[in-house]
Structure 1
């Protein structure tokens, strides 16, 4: 199970006890915000795309949407989200629990600038009822991100 892979990943850093599991779904930004009693913008949603043959994850604040123009300028192609089946296979986590931790080899992780306005954010941990609170430097460290990007719209820096 995906959450077990994420727990094993965080165990290497002595952080598995920081993973939160809920008796309710946290599969969407709204549900996660309810489960965590926080603002939806602090949910670090992880979106799955294909850039050519490369699976790409964009971790962004919960109050954002992909800006197609910015995305194409960054990646040189139109934003093409993976289907739920493709995400499970190519990323290693099912939709609702996709996160940048313990992913399949070859997955590239990018962090969106919309996250920089927060001290801590809550990404999922591989299941539709989990999360972990991380500082931005921790998110950088544990996500193995490739770069910061600015590919979202709908948040304060517009």
Structure 2
């Protein structure tokens, strides 16, 4: 429950995760979170904003999400946090799917916060590696801090 609570309470992430600067979350219906997240995990030091929707299933210990506004070079980004009890505690998996913009197809979004030149980054293979590394590091940091918080939580005795 403690790990799920950490992942679910996205509004607390700016105080809990070093790569999150700000979060705005609206919950119009139980289990549905509409989010805007400012992240500064990029190597260039720029803050990037993503907007998305998260569907939270506490009974199934799952949170699935879809980003609706993504930074370049990402065209689409979905993911899932899933928690499964095991003999020693809980196993947490973060699975993500990312679609990169085709560098040969112009994408003309007025709300794009940054520009992407696939040639400057060493081509599509290097861009894929950078995106995978950046998202992987952010997810790993989140999982480590969620685990630390669960292990160090003060339990109330009744």
Q: If the length of structure 2 is used for normalisation, what is the TM-score?
A: 0.32
Higher-RCO chain (CA-CA 8 Å, sequence separation at least 6): 1
TM-score, normalization by structure 1: 0.32
Bigger Rg, structure 1 or 2: 2
